[in-house]
Structure 1
């Protein structure tokens, strides 16, 4: 018996593929292994399929190699497609359009590592975390002027426009102030590739990003970059859906929980993230591990 079938029986499934309404069926599958509520099926029936949005330049979570999507979330998406009784269509686009598109109903799921923040929690609902997303900094290996967190005082920092690294600035500012320092110039970028290039060129002194992405980069280029300390409170990343879409949220949580319980999530984390998170919370948490009210 497959792990998904076992989970399905334990969860008390309400529907199988054979009960799906015409037009929502994924022709590549003969049956579903996850329970799907009537509410969710009615949602999908209106469009005929589920639409997920993933980012185009966010390694190791999502990125393109010779035009082909790859990464941690893409592999999770492949597994999700195999156990649901409906078609899932994917839109790959820049980060800036993903969350507004989900909040407005243009896309059903932000299937990317979305940092869970107070502001985002007002408009979106989140799955349980798929990874830690605490913000750290990266610097040039040969830059001896930055040795500790306090050395970031007055430095030129690069962040992603609208990203969680932007939301971490107040935390860093408070830490520097406690040590008698202050935030310097902060430059915003559309994507991190440009920020890393400016770091190499000396236009930036450090780039703020989540601990996973920076760990992967340092693992790939240890002679060029050096990973610094965490600059923000512990935080997490999950997938996001439109506020109030509990039926879809439940399905995604069931899927992620089944992977974790059967020991399939950790190997994927180690493969793509170069780090594993064995004690991730089962509920979405705000920075500082605060529950969402």
Structure 2
């Protein structure tokens, strides 16, 4: 039985308090979970049902069942997710969120549940880009508030025109339309787009940059970190994690 009570409470800002804080309901073990609706295939809206689906959604459903809580699901732009957790407007966030030392100063993370990195995406007929150095003097789309933006800023700075977009679909459409020369973003999302809507029109080039790990995010000091970590460990031990991974990405043994 799924523990997800309500899905797709769409919100474009962190104005989630309004007397409805998930922390206030935690005594009843009903938490507020937030995600970003545009990070496919981790989280995306099913147009037929109006519900959020994806790898992260399957993970949080299973984790909640095992850890012993139910939850209300809300969505917002990625850039507002960490502040929403930090301020206690939501209890938990899951949205392909990279574990970083800077973020860990203001929120708590679960143990890593997905290994990732950053990749370059260009149009299929562009042979001028093979690595990050080739992006100098080019216009690069990435996602606002992401580690990919930070990486570009640190490694290219003023040597490239870095354009942050609020959603991943926006930057991909900009690439297809010629508004940017390349996209630099999380490897699984880039790869998924290249194999689906971008097939034959874009290609992934260069190595995997910045080996990263995703974690589930909690309010600092949350009592749910240990139960969630125990649930994740059990899912990996009994094969449930591999089943969810295979559903969205293929077998873990092939990575």
Instruction: State the TM bucket, normalised to the shorter chain.
Output: 0.7 to 0.9
CA contact (8 A) 2:187 2:208 kept: no
CA contact (8 A) 1:171 1:231 kept: no
Q: CA RMSD in A?
A: 2.6
1:224 alignment counterpart: 201
What is residue 183 of structure 2 aligned with on the other side?
207
SS of corresponding position for 2:189: helix
Which 10-residue stretch deviates more, 47-56 or 105-114?
47-56
Aligned to 1:8: none
2:242 corresponds to 1:261: no
Instruction: Tell me which residue corresponds to 2:95.
Output: 112
**SS of match in other structure, 1:154:** coil
Partner of 2:32: 51
Cα deviation, residue 208, structure 1: 0.9
Q: Which residue of 2 aligns with 1:251?
A: 227
Q: In structure 1, which of residues 239, 256, 261 is the aligned counterpart of residue 216 of structure 2?
A: 239
Residue segments in structure 1 that go unaligned for 5+ positions in a row: 1-25, 29-40, 175-181, 280-293
Structure 1 residues 114 and 160: CA distance shift in structure 2, 3 A: same
TM-score, length basis structure 2: 0.82
Q: More displaced, 197-206 or 74-83?
A: 74-83
Partner residue, 2:83: 100
Partner secondary structure for residue 179 of structure 2: coil
Equivalences for residues 141-180 of structure 1 within 5 A: 141-170=124-153, 172-173=155-156
Aligned length: 232
Following superposition, the deviation at residue 217 of structure 1 comes to 1.5
Q: Distance in 2 between matches of 1:110 and 1:65?
A: 20
Greater Rg, structure 1 or structure 2?
1
Unaligned runs of 5+ in 2: 6-22
TM-score, normalised on structure 1?
0.72
Q: Partner residue of 2:41?
A: 60
Aligned structure 1 segments of 4 or more residues deviating by more than 4 angstroms: none
